[in-house]
Amino acid sequence: MMKDFLREAARVVPSERQLRWFDLNFYAFIHFGVNTFTDREWGTGMEDEAVFNPTDLDCDQWVEAIKAAGMKGMVLTAKHHDGFCLWPSKFTEHSVKNSPFHGDVVKLAADACRRGGIRFGVYLSPWDRNNPLYGTPEYNDYFCNQLTELLTGYGELFYVWFDNACGEGPNGKKQVYDFPRYFELIRKYQPNAVIFNDFGPDVRWCGNEAGVARQSEWAVVPHELCYWADRQTGAGPLHDAAPHALDTLYNTDPLIGTAPQIFYSDGLVCTPCEINMSIRPGWFWHEQEEPHDLDRLFHTYLTSVGANASFHLNVPPDRRGRIDARDVRRLKELGQLLDAEFGKEIPVEIRRVDDGTHWSGEWLLTFAPGERPVKYIVLEEDLTQGQRIESFKIADAASDAHFPLYYGFTVGNRAICRLGDPFALQNPLTDDSDPAPRSLRLLVTGSRDVPALKTIKAY
């Protein structure tokens, strides 16, 4: 029974749009709006439109900086919690049209992305501190009108990102959002766009804004958590034993999607995880803030893009409407480092040792004499067949596999395994292993079905 359910879990697959999003992997967030000019993180909604006045707006400069880091898309805060719209919406006066700038920032950004060959998406805050309808059923009409403007006026979008933050407090306005209606509009006008609404339907929040990853990251998760997504299985075998056990499941849980947890679920969905963080402490630009150091950004890349998630890195334009030179420099450094580490593969001869019929597997990877020492092994599962691998290890083939160079958990879209990584939780570099082994053994020690690896690469 458990085995049948695991096999069923191994067949929960991403949609076409999720697969395309997985391919994109690394994209930018752009937080820009009245807060940029008032030095705040959350605006009050009472700001005068006149405060929005970028003096030298250049969206091509944003795209150039984004591309230098290797990012392949941009998501712009079309409207943050303060309700100020970066496009001249017909449905409110609180927008760029009444600012000294006048121009349509959404259009300028979308056009710059198209020119630069990267994808464009929008962030639209459901919480709106400016609009008088907020807190009434009519607000849903207002929101849908705005959403429709964005979905129909700016070409193809790859992403619609809803922010569930709300600071109204217990005595504040209470809005019942009609999310199913919002989703329907997106599917109608932008069928290829993925939707982020914290708990699916297509992408889920990682649970923090600091770039901290889970040890094992499953795209297949209990429906109780990602209730916006379509269920692909029936209930887990232990669901009846604990009918409400997962009611309090949240994105911060370190065990999301692990076997002991999915057994209690009321069904499974495919909703992969996005790791979002800002290059600086704040989401909006503040003069005195500095970008995070390169190590932190690189580490976050390895534990997001390299751990079955995506990396959504915020880079806030300043009051000129340009990306700050300090951030431009950091993005360039990151791009150069990624290129140095992953720009050139080490040729490897791969042989599957087992007969490929068991819920485990063994591969032998051999390198030509005189090759550079291997620093990373990159694995990818064929997600069109489902996410299966639960645990694996990589050992020097010439030494004892009980003392490997790397212990891994999930693989999914991609696992970047840094051999001998001192930051990895369990990663013993044993004394007797060769620092530049000629051949490696990859052992899948646990899998929900026969492992289906698509890629094994060395760098």
Site of interaction with ligand FUL (CB under 6 A): 41, 163, 165, 276, 283
Residue closer to ligand FUL, measured from CB, 2 or 165: 165
Residue closer to ligand FUL, measured from CB, 44 or 55: 44
Residue from 273, 260, 268 nearest 220 by CA: 268
**Residue 20, token pair as written in the block:** 């395309």
**Mind giving me the DSSP string for 371-414?**
PPPP-EEEEEE-GGG---EEEEEEEETTS-TTS-SEEE---TT-
**Mind giving me the DSSP string for 1-37?**
-HHHHHHHHTT----HHHHHHHHH-EEEEE--SHHHH
Residue closer to ligand FUL, measured from CB, 194 or 452: 194
Residue closer to ligand FUL, measured from CB, 163 or 318: 163
Residue closer to ligand FUL, measured from CB, 213 or 379: 213
Nearest distance in Å: CB 205, ligand FUL: 9
Q: Residue 300: CB partners within 8 Å, gap ≥ 6?
A: 211, 213, 275, 277, 311, 313
Nearest distance in Å: CB 434, ligand FUL: 45
Residue closer to ligand FUL, measured from CB, 276 or 410: 276
Nearest distance in Å: CB 317, ligand FUL: 14
Residue closer to ligand FUL, measured from CB, 66 or 442: 66
- From the DSSP assignment, how many helices (H) and strands (E) are in the chain? 10, 18
**Residue 250, token pair as written in the block:** 């949240």
Nearest distance in Å: CB 451, ligand FUL: 36
Nearest distance in Å: CB 376, ligand FUL: 30
Interatomic CA distance for residues 27 and 427, integer angstroms: 29
Residue closer to ligand FUL, measured from CB, 165 or 241: 165
Nearest distance in Å: CB 325, ligand FUL: 23
CA 436 to chain centroid, in Å, comes to 33
Nearest distance in Å: CB 277, ligand FUL: 9
How far are the Cα atoms of 24, 202, 403, 424 from residue 431, in angstroms, in the given order? 39, 45, 10, 17
**Residue facing ligand FUL at closest CB distance:** 165
Residue closer to ligand FUL, measured from CB, 275 or 405: 275
Nearest distance in Å: CB 276, ligand FUL: 6
DSSP H stretches of helix in 200-243: none
Nearest distance in Å: CB 169, ligand FUL: 14
Interatomic CA distance for residues 457 and 375, integer angstroms: 11
Interatomic CA distance for residues 330 and 279, integer angstroms: 9
Interatomic CA distance for residues 53 and 55, integer angstroms: 6
